[in-house]
Amino acid sequence: MPPFNVPLGADALRAAGIPAPWAYGVADRVRFGEVDMLGHVNNVAYARWFETIRVAHLMDYGISDFNDPETKIVIRSIALTYLKEVHLKDDYILTTRARSMRNTSFTMDFAVWVDGQMTTSGEGVIVMLNPDNSKKPLPDAVRATLIARDGTEQT
């Protein structure tokens, strides 16, 4: 069976014209259901894309399997800026990285790239919670992983 949906690392992203420090991406193609009646990718579809790569990043990095009764990972806020339209069947690359972290949360950056040009950018704040919804300090292993793979800054 052919490999597919393999995350792209720093080298593959540079080869696709995506600059440092992005180090985690996924390539995909615009689907019919993501285009709205105005003929371009719908604004909400990008929020879905950012969720998809956020979950893939957190699982691939071993930060969460979304099935741990001791830790909840929730999104506190999200922001998107629409720079250029994207259309049906366009090939694109999604990238994400944890830009900075605090005691109980971290901030992830997101971007969509078509032909090496950023077409949408975004960011989101992720919080770790205990089962009773109290804030949970990021475990040391999570901090180490984010620093090693994303160069995440402590702020």
* CB closer to its own copies, 1 vs 140: 1
Would you give the binding string for its own copies spanning residues 90-119, x where CB under 8 A is met? -x-x--------------------------
Contact stretch for its own copies (CB under 8 A) within 66-74, 100-108, 137-145, 147-155: 66-74
CB atoms closer than 10 angstroms to residue 59: 13
Q: Can residue 2 be called a binding residue for its own copies (CB under 8 A)?
A: yes
Give phi and psi for 115, each to the nearest 5: 55, 40
Instruction: Output the smallest distance, CB 45 to its own copies, in A.
Output: 9
DSSP string across 46-61: HHHHHHHHHHHHHHHT
CA dihedral for 21, 25, 31, 33, sign (positive or negative): negative
Q: Can residue 27 be called a binding residue for its own copies (CB under 8 A)?
A: yes
